[in-house]
């Protein structure tokens, strides 16, 4: 697995997720995430770390080989290609939802 380059990502002008980017979640919760990067067909989400198809809903994700992999903590996972951390489960004011949000690079620390 080729790891993502944290220093390179932290040098990019990546915005933080906000209620303007994603309706339904409060800003303080969203501020630790980067806005989702949609695939060209707007059906899925690409990985911030390597650009792979991270997630596609339904059977399409299994067919194209989406790279989201579940971790040990409930709702947390990572890209199986580069290891970039992702949260899949979110509690919304009107219930729960499953969709990937990747942590903003400034929220991550390098560990060797």
Q: What is the mean pLDDT of the chain?
A: 80
Edge to edge, the sheet with strand 95-102 lists 68-70, 76-79, 85-92, 95-102
Backbone φ, ψ for residue 89 (5° rounding): -100, 135
How many structural domains are present in the chain? Answer: 1
pLDDT digits (tens, 9 = 90+) for 15-69: 887 766 566 566 677 788 898 888 888 878 899 999 988 888 777 666 667 888 8
What predicted TM-score, i.e. pTM, was given to this entire model?
0.77
DSSP lists the bridge partners of residue 86 as 77, 102
Question: Does residue 111 lie in a domain region?
Answer: no
Tokens of 16: 């933080």
Chain mean position to CA 75: 12
Nearest to residue 49, comparing CAs of 97, 1, 99? 1
Question: Does residue 79 lie in a domain region?
Answer: yes
Question: Does residue 68 lie in a domain region?
Answer: yes
14 burial class (0-12, 13-18, 19+ CB within 10 angstroms)? Answer: middle
Question: Does residue 112 lie in a domain region?
Answer: no
Question: Does residue 94 lie in a domain region?
Answer: yes
Tally of CA atoms within 13 A in the half-sphere of 104 that contains its CB: 17
Question: Does residue 1 lie in a domain region?
Answer: no
Question: Does residue 84 lie in a domain region?
Answer: yes
Q: Which domain holds residue 79?
A: 6-106
């Amino acid at each position: 697995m080729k790891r993502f380059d944290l220093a390179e990502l932290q040098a990019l002008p990546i915005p933080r997720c906000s209620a303007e980017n994603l309706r339904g979640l409060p800003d303080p919760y969203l501020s630790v995430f980067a806005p989702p990067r949609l695939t060209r067909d707007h059906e899925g989400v690409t990985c911030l770390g390597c650009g792979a198809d991270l997630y596609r809903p339904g059977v399409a994700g299994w067919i194209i080989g989406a790279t989201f992999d579940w971790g040990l903590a409930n709702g947390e996972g990572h890209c199986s290609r580069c290891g970039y951390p992702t949260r899949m489960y979110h509690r919304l004011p009107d219930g729960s939802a499953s969709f990937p949000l990747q942590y903003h690079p400034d929220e991550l620390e390098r560990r060797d």
